[in-house]
Amino acid sequence: MRLRRMVLYKAKALGELPKDMLRYDTAFVSDKFPGVVAFCQFQSKFGINPGVPTTGRWQSFCVKLELLSADECLAISPSDMTKFYTYQHPVTGHVTDYGEYEKIPLERYMEAKDWREVQVKK
């Protein structure tokens, strides 16, 4: 899939960012930049995913999102972006394990032709 756009936000949460929110919005985080969340817009043969946060859902998890300033964005180099990841539920056959999460690197999304190639299969 082709990465069309990436918007960086600062997430202010009471605790750890909810993995399910990252999965739901296909948002990416990095251990090197705690609190920074990247919302990516990908284009595949099936169309374009929105690449924007579902703000109401994030607020329901007590997470406030603010756009990063230009200076804060410039501090993140393109090589740092390879260290960003999101989460997905693994799939065994046609059964999704909703109790488990697997880390998926941003690079895997960019190398895939469509979202089905990114799914974690056991």
Mean of the per-residue pLDDT values for the chain?
A: 88
> Where do the domains of the chain lie?
2-117
Distant-in-sequence contacts of 108-111, Cβ < 8 A, 24+ apart: 109/1, 109/3, 109/26, 109/40, 109/42, 110/1, 110/2, 110/3, 110/42
Q: What is the pTM for the complete model shown?
A: 0.86
Residue 115 is given by DSSP the state: G
State pLDDT tens for residues 38-79: 999 988 888 888 888 998 989 998 999 999 999 998 899 888
Instruction: Indicate if the pLDDT at residue 94 is higher than 70.
Output: yes
